Amino acid sequence: MDKSQMMERAEILVGAVDDLPTIPIVATKVLQLLDNPDVSVEEVADLMLSDQVMTARVMKLINSPVYKPTQEITSLKRALVYLGLRHVRELALTTSVINAFDGTSGALELNAFWEHSFGVGMVSKIIAQKIGYQDLEKAYISGIIHDLGEVFLSNFLREPFMEVLEYIKVHPVKLVDAEAELLGTTHCEIGLCMARKWNFPDAYCDVIAYHHSPGEANVDPILCAIVNLADLFCTVRELNYGGREWISFNLSDEEAWTILKNESPTFANMDVERFCYELDDAIPDVKELVSSIFSPA
């Protein structure tokens, strides 16, 4: 199916939903506030504190194994100082996305969805580090939000999406290919429509749209390749929506592998086997992180 046709179909589907979750006003305000170069930590903290759910999530994220503070950080202001204001924007974005879908129900189990997403975030950050990518948090956040479109499909196209999930149980094909075949569009196009509605920064829109085809990315093909590879690894190492998707891949045939090797020649010598085994070891951390984020405050 043609990419532009899939995009058209996604726009129709997303446009037809009246009760699409919104990103909290506070998040939008935080994003706006952070565009002002003279903003102070106090101002941002005050604004964020007005949204208790967001504050609680930020505190959980900051104390998670991903950010690894040496001591537990207990005040939002300290969290913002620790992170640096540059990263607050991303944190606000992530926590809002999590909030937007919290408590919803669909064809996918949300817990398994976020385990995959945070797993891809973590692995994206590791790969970013290995290739010397300049912004590790951006890679992390990109991983977390890359599959946003799946939640839409799961919630608002529940029945047809269930059929897709049934289909991949018996056919060894990628989820994204099954979506294109059965729904006429994929979570990439759907996610892009949502990200645009929510005014996501361009780099994130790019990741959402091209994390399965990094070579087509417009803004940051390297970032898309990082997330693509992280996604592949997570899918084969138990962070795969609770075992739903079948993927097999030959690294040397993957576009993302070529892109990243060109970016960082030493990356080609990576011990892929060991990387997989270490990923197995990290899975309990990811599951713990997700369950801590979603446990009642």
Partner 1 sequence: MAINDKDFEQLRDFIYNICGMYFHTTKKYFLESRLTRRMEATGAKTYQDYFLMLKSPRGSEELKFLMDEITTNETYFFRNVPQLAALENKLLPELVEAKNKMGFRKLRIWSAASSSGEEAYTMAMILLEKRSTLLKDWIIEIVGTDINETVITQAKEGIYNAYSVRNIPDAYKRKYIREDNGRFILSPEVKKFVTFNKLNLYEDSKMIFMKSFDFIFCANVLIYFDTASKSKVVQHFYNNLQPYGYFFVGQSESLHGVNDKFKTVHFPGGFGYKK
Q: Which chain residues interact with partner 1 by CB under 8 A?
A: 172, 232-233, 235-238, 240, 243, 246-252, 271-274, 276-277, 280-281
DSSP 134: S
Q: Which is nearer to partner 1, 182 or 251 (CB)?
A: 251
Residue 81 CA, chain-centre distance (Å), reads 24
Least distance (Å) between residue 234 CB and partner 1: 11
Residue 136 in contact with residue 110, Cβ under 8 Å? no
Spatial neighbors of 208 by CB under 8 A, at least 6 apart, are 145, 146, 148, 149, 188, 191, 192, 194, 195, 200
Q: Following DSSP, what letter does each residue of 40-77 receive, concatenated?
A: -HHHHHHHHHT-HHHHHHHHHHHTSTTT--SS---SHH
Q: How far is the CB of 20 from partner 1 (least distance, A)?
A: 33
Residues 6+ apart with CB under 8 A from 177: none
CB of 70 to partner 1, least distance (A): 16
Q: Which is nearer to partner 1, 69 or 243 (CB)?
A: 243
Cβ nearer to partner 1, comparing 4 with 252: 252
Q: Describe the crossing of helices 85-101 and 136-145 by its angle, rounded to 10 degrees.
A: 10
Nearer to partner 1, 215 or 243 (CB): 243
In the complex, what is the shortest distance from the CB of residue 245 to partner 1, in angstroms, rounded to a whole number? 8
Measured in whole angstroms, the distance separating CA 106 from the mean position of its chain's CA atoms is 18
> What is the nearest approach in angstroms of partner 1 to the Cβ of residue 273?
4
* CB of 186 vs partner 1, minimal distance in Å: 21
Alpha-carbon distance of 264 to 83, in angstroms, equals: 27
How far is it, in rounded angstroms, from Cα 128 to Cα 179?
A: 29
Closest distance to partner 1 from the beta carbon of 201 (Å): 31
| Contact predicate 185/177, CB 8 Å | no
Is the CB of 35 or the CB of 273 nearer to partner 1?
273
Task: Name the residue among 29, 53, 26 with its Cα closest to residue 39.
Answer: 29
Spatial separation of the C-alpha atoms in residues 242 and 63, rounded to whole Å: 26
With respect to partner 1, which residue has the nearer C-beta, 181 or 238?
238
Q: Is the CB of 11 or the CB of 254 nearer to partner 1? A: 254
Rounded least distance, CB 204 to partner 1, Å: 27
Nearer to partner 1 (CB atom), residue 41 or residue 236: 236
